[in-house]
Amino acid sequence: MSERGKKSERTRAKVFETALGLFRKRGFEQTTMREIAKGVGLSLGAAYHHFASKDALVLEYYRWMQSEHEARVERAALEVPDESLRGRLARLLETKLELLSEDQRLLSALFRGLVDPEGSLSVFGEETQAIRERSQAQFEELFAEVEVDPELRTLLGRATWGAHLGVFLFFVHDRSPDHARTRRLADELATLTATLVPFLGHPFAQPVTSRALELARELGFLDPGGEGP
């Protein structure tokens, strides 16, 4: 990469860091692109050259958050290895909570866009598909060695990913000290999932798992991207 390209990347990173700091301090709605540009020492037009809108900055935040989550999970796995399904799922959820712990206010402000099916910031939208697929892959990998139909393993990963969205919706509204209630919910999700999964390979569970797969296909939950209908 040329020196000019490297300088542009550094400036883009600085715009993002400044925006994130302002979003956390002042709130998403209250922060303007002009304030972000001023914080970096750029003209408004130069700031828009790097990010066309505040929504573009939020998409960058999603990408950064996913990359940081992957890195933290990898570090945690090296520091405290745990090969059990419960331990790996708990680690995945705990590291996400740690990552989001200072962004409750920001996520509260973004909540409407996160669930709006027509919005560019929707967790199920086209703009966020690549990020969503990376996150889903983390959960699908948890079940890679579970002895069930491969399609059921995919569904387990997608379903657990969906359940984790519920945990973080709870997090947005959780005002308990150190988000203790959310941490309890995440821990219980890990325990219940790990307890249930071994039974899915038993013959008595086949009618239930077959129907679950059939329904998932009908609703589009097993399509690439997992965005459903």
| CATH number for region 1-52 | 1.10.10.60
Summarised one tens digit per residue, pLDDT across range 99-141 is: 998 898 888 888 777 777 777 888 888 899 999 999 999 999 9
Segments of the chain assigned to CATH 1.10.10.60: 1-52
| Calculated CA dihedral for residues 119, 121, 124, 126, nearest 10 degrees | 80
* Burial class of residue 165 (count of CB atoms within 10 Å of its CB; 0-12, 13-18, 19+): middle
- What value does the CA radius of gyration of the chain take, rounded to a whole number of Å? 20
Segments of the chain assigned to CATH 1.10.357.10: 58-219
Topology classification of domain 58-219: Tetracycline Repressor; domain 2 (1.10.357)
| Whether pTM exceeds 0.75 | yes
Q: How far is residue 132's CA from residue 31's CA, in Å, rounded to a whole number?
A: 26
Summarised one tens digit per residue, pLDDT across range 37-84 is: 999 999 999 999 999 999 999 999 999 999 999 999 999 999 888 889
